[in-house]
A and B are shown apart, each in its own frame.
Chain A
Amino acid sequence: MTAEDKVKINKLPTGVPGLDEIVGGGLPEFSFNIIAGAPGSGKTTLAHQFVFTNATPERPALYFTVLGESAIKMLRYQQQYTFFDPSLLPGSIRFINLSQVVLEKDLGAVLEEITKEVTKSSPAVVVVDSFRTMVRGPQDGMDLQAFIQRLALFLASWQATTFLIGEYAEDELRDNPIFTVADGLFWLRQTTERNSIVRKLQIVKLRGQASVPGLHTFRITNAGVQAFSRTFGLTANRRSALGLKRLSFGIPEMDKMLDGGVREGDSVLVAGSSGTGKSVLATQFIAEGIRQGESGIVAVFEERPQAYAERAATLGLDLEKPQRDGKLEILYLRPLDLSVDETMHSILSAVKKVGAKRLVIDSLAGFEMALSPGFRADFRESLYRMIFALTGIGVTILSTVEVDESFIEFPFSTYSISFLTDDIIRLRYVSIDGQLRKIMTVIKMRGGNHAKDIREYEITSDGVVILGKRLTNYQGLIGGLPVHTGRSAAQEDALHDSEVERNS
């Protein structure tokens, strides 16, 4: 059998941003699906989004309500969502209440009623909300499994894509024969982690096509359910070839230390303690990109965009105009219950919007704080996914991270994430001649012959300014408490120059 001989399964848009990617491009047409989860987990809203996206006057949607929430109250609340279009009722979307049939008769009568309505309307979409409330006791003539089996058979023949909505607890997922009938099983979870609510969605099964496995976070806003794929919607993207281009910081001495600049598509970590100029360096990096025609994104967590732009202005860097021109977006992300996937969604949307080549994350500590506590545990793994996804599409990322200053060790990051980064620039304080001065060094640069020099720098009204040549007349600089070698700076400079000459 060739590919052409096989039946083609159409994929229907779910109407839920992000969910099409998770289910593998859309929901299989004529599939019989169950949406399960605890009350308040977003089951009805998800079904409504699908209904409002796919119902037409020719192929309407039938929405059967049973016991539980009254249809009037449901519509009262659901119409608050932006996707709810009242003009589709009742021509394209019909709500039919079956509570009387359920109360007075058995499941056989319910099936008969559904059959009658489906036969009459030939719907494209059928929803039964909630099918679990139909089971009222052992006296029912037909058990729920038989009911669902017959309903599935009937609706498949009538070419309807179906959702059954049911309240199920986590432990009911296993060994439940009802779920074997379904082509698709969507499990919605809502958990409280400290003071945050975390919503996650899992496609437990989906026949006919590959879905993205795992738990995907989702959020319910006034636009309805929005899902955030663990793959950030980038599964279809081919990884960009590693760039040969070098991206400048706009600080010539710094670029020299980096063998000409940061390699395009790299992930750079700027680590240092408070006040060492990490954010200043990051701002110069983004501003230089804009100066060179490379759009950028700055994700800030510790100050508001306006304050960030104002601080840049004190360094002579104009971030207001590029924002107005659509070349720069400063994202402020600080709701304290974000998931990495949501953050990524915001960043990716901004990257696509402005065509960004450079991204600054300032800082990782602020980013971690903005996440829901439950996601902080997975921060390292999440960063890995995020960096891999973004650099994969050719974005160069510069992240800042605060490290506790220590005079007995030289840490690069509190997150053990140095393996995730291509380049690490370390900033630190040193005590020299009764002053607390600043030094920087390039610790690591994948695929680049970076300078091994330790350079002193200052933060002035021009930003980071690297002073003189490498600090050769001190030993123990990286420990923060250097010892003078006894040679003068002039002697050290002469030694340095001769060394450079030998190497060139």
Chain B
Amino acid sequence: MTNSPEMRDLARRLLTYEAVADKNSRPMESPTLRAYEKLRQCLVSFAGVASFQSIAVRALVLAQAEDPSLCAVQVTADGELQALGDVELLTKLDKDTVGSRQAGEDPPGEAGAILIARILGLLLTFLGEALTLSLLRNAWPDATFDDRNSGNGRKA
């Protein structure tokens, strides 16, 4: 769970979970925003707004280096994410227009997964696997997470 592909995989699973689980959300609200918001609420509760905001900014800078389309995204002072929906929409339209992805290019919606993966990666660095999973279980109480020593598959 420590390397980036694993983080990306976990982030994708969270986004997939959000895409199918929350049918009552606003149609325009992306799974990335919902996942981000759950992480924000959870982290702000125990670490404070300032702590979450600094982690989110750091994660965004790291994610922007991976996917320049995220350069338009910003984190506000209270930790909210701005302009991600626009970025995701534009990316989707571009892909639809062009029709097919170039080799090695990220799939649509991957920018969100990159950002969430970076947040998870920072949490893992600072808190370790056990506490990070504990936070995720708190944020997604209905999802199932496993640690790397568990034989159960990750279902989130």
Please give the residue numbers on chain A whose beta carbons come within 8 Å of chain B beta carbons, in ascending order. Answer: 65, 70-73, 75-76, 79, 86-87, 89-90, 94-100
Contact = CB atoms under 8 A, between A and B. Distances in A.
Contacts of B55: 72
Given A96-B46, A97-B46, A87 B130 contact: yes
| Interface core residue of B50, B55, B126, B131 (most chain A CB under 10 Å) | B131
Contact of B48 (A71, A76, A87, A90): A71
Contact of A94 (B46, B49, B130): B46
Interface string B118-133: 0000000011101100
B51 A97 contact: yes
21 contacts: A65-B47, A70-B47, A70-B48, A71-B46, A71-B51, A75-B127, A76-B126, A76-B127, A79-B128, A86-B128, A86-B134, A87-B130, A89-B131, A90-B46, A96-B45, A97-B44, A97-B46, A97-B47, A97-B48, A100-B49, A100-B50
Nearest to A63: B46
Nearest to B47: A71
B47 A90 contact: no
Given A96-B46, A99-B48, A87 B126 contact: no
B128 A97 contact: no
B130 A86 contact: yes
A89 B126 contact: no
A6 B138 CA distance: 43
A330 B47 CA distance: 47
Interface string B15-55: 00000000000000000000000000000111111110001
Nearest to A117: B45
Nearest to A100: B49
A73 B49 CA distance: 14
Contact of A90 (B127, B128, B134): B134
Nearest to B122: A72
Contacts of A75: 127, 131
A90 B130 CA distance: 11
Nearest to B43: A72
B126 A72 contact: yes
Nearest to A67: B48
Given A72-B126, A73-B126, A79-B128, A95 B134 contact: no
Contacts, number: 57
A65 B130 contact: no
Contacts of B135: 90
Q: Bin the interface of chain B by size.
A: 10 to 19
A90 B47 CA distance: 13
Contacts of A86: 128, 130-131, 134
Nearest to A71: B47
Nearest to A86: B130
**8 closest pairs, A vs B, by CB?**
A86-B130, A97-B48, A95-B46, A71-B47, A99-B48, A70-B51, A89-B134, A72-B47
Contacts of B50: 70, 99-100
| Interface core residue of B45, B47, B135 (most chain A CB under 10 Å) | B47
Contacts of A98: 48
B91 to A, nearest CB: 31
Nearest to B45: A96
A79 B131 contact: yes
Nearest to A94: B46
A173 B96 CA distance: 71
Contact of A72 (B49, B51, B134, B138): B51
A76 to B, nearest CB: 5
Given A76-B126, A76-B128, A97-B44, 19 more contacts: A65-B47, A65-B48, A70-B47, A70-B50, A71-B46, A75-B131, A79-B130, A86-B134, A87-B130, A90-B134, A90-B135, A90-B138, A94-B46, A95-B46, A96-B45, A98-B48, A99-B48, A99-B49, A99-B50
A89 B42 CA distance: 13
Contacts of B47: 65, 70-72, 95, 97
A87 B130 CA distance: 7
A77 B46 CA distance: 16
Contacts of A79: 127-128, 130-131
A73 B127 CA distance: 8
A95 B50 CA distance: 15
Contacts of A94: 46
Contacts of A87: 130, 134
A86 B126 CA distance: 14
Contacts of B48: 65, 70-71, 97-100
Contacts of B44: 97, 100
Contacts of B126: 72-73, 76
Contacts of A70: 47-48, 50-51
A33 B17 CA distance: 45
| Interface core residue of B46, B48, B50, B51 (most chain A CB under 10 Å) | B48
A72 B122 CA distance: 11
A252 to B, nearest CB: 63
Nearest to B49: A100
A86 B44 CA distance: 19
A105 to B, nearest CB: 13
A339 B133 CA distance: 41
Interface string B130-156: 110011001000000000000000000
Nearest to B125: A76
Contacts of B131: 75, 79, 86, 89
A89 B50 CA distance: 21
A29 B49 CA distance: 33
B79 to A, nearest CB: 11
A72 B55 CA distance: 10
Interface string B95-136: 000000000000000000000000000000011101100110
